[in-house]
Amino acid sequence: MIDCRYILLAIVLAFFCNDVMIEAFTTPHKSSIHTHKTTTSTQHNAGFMDDLSKFFDGLGGGNSDNNEQNDIAEQVDGAYVGSKRIITVPSKSMKAGGLRLYCNLYLMGLQNTPEDGCWKASKADDSEVNLRYKDLSGSIIIRFTEDGITVDRLGSAPSNKYLMHESVILNGFLDELKAIVFDGDISEANRLLTLVDDNDIEKNREAISFG
């Protein structure tokens, strides 16, 4: 059975070609009117064909290349092109030096968690720690800024094992932040980090759950 989409496409293309041929034979060649009509018609047809393409993509679900491009576009929201923001913890106040030192030491100590040699840690500067996974399918980028703490995932196709181990790392990291914010008899003014919303840490756990 012939797919109705191809019949519709043939009808539309016939209309498009007929429209161009009629205009070519009925419009004077050397006049401002011709230039205006040709430009308007070209713009109209280009827009129409673009809409038609979107219609068929939507009807058929799009091809795999378009889906891959859309997936990549959706992930360009982290600190780097191709990275995806997975955690944002806005800060009300931050003692940047002490917090960065504490967290950097904690993160650098996770290279063998939960398996030996599964992460390789590097620190570009005091504001960022990169944990690269051993199968190279993804990396965790943790950044400390004046506005708070962000965690990005770099890698468009992380492996299942990466995602599982990432969840372990980031849940532990959120536990450390929670302890910094809430544990002990320390006044808010003296804490390394205070939050805009006390629930922000727990809200981020949903984004890193595995399974």
Residues of the chain whose pLDDT is less than 70?
1-78, 210-211
pLDDT at 87: 94
Residues 6+ apart with CB under 8 A from 58: none
- 86 and 49, same structural domain? no
Tell me whether residue 41 is in a domain.
yes
**In a shared domain, residues 88 and 54:** no
C-alpha 173: how far from chain center: 21
Residues 47 and 83 in one domain: no
Q: Is residue 112 one of the residues assigned to a domain?
A: yes
pLDDT per residue as tens digits for the range 109-128:
999 999 999 999 987 777 88
Question: What pLDDT, on the 0 to 100 scale, is given for residue 127?
Answer: 84
| pLDDT tens digits along 45-70 | 545 555 544 444 444 444 444 444 34
* 70 within a domain of the structure (yes/no): no
- Domain boundary among the residues 35, 62, 89 is at 62
Residues 58 and 143 in one domain: no
The boundaries of the domain holding residue 146 are 78-208
Final residue of a structural domain among 62, 92, 112: 62
Domain count, the chain: 2
For residues 91 and 131, membership in a common domain is answered with yes
Could you tell me if 92 and 159 lie in one domain? yes
Q: Is residue 72 part of a domain?
A: no
CB-count burial class (<10 Å; 0-12, 13-18, 19+) for 161: middle
pTM over 0.75: no
Q: Give the separation between CA 188 and CA 135, rounded to whole angstroms.
A: 41
177: CATH: 3.30.310
108 in the same domain as 26: no
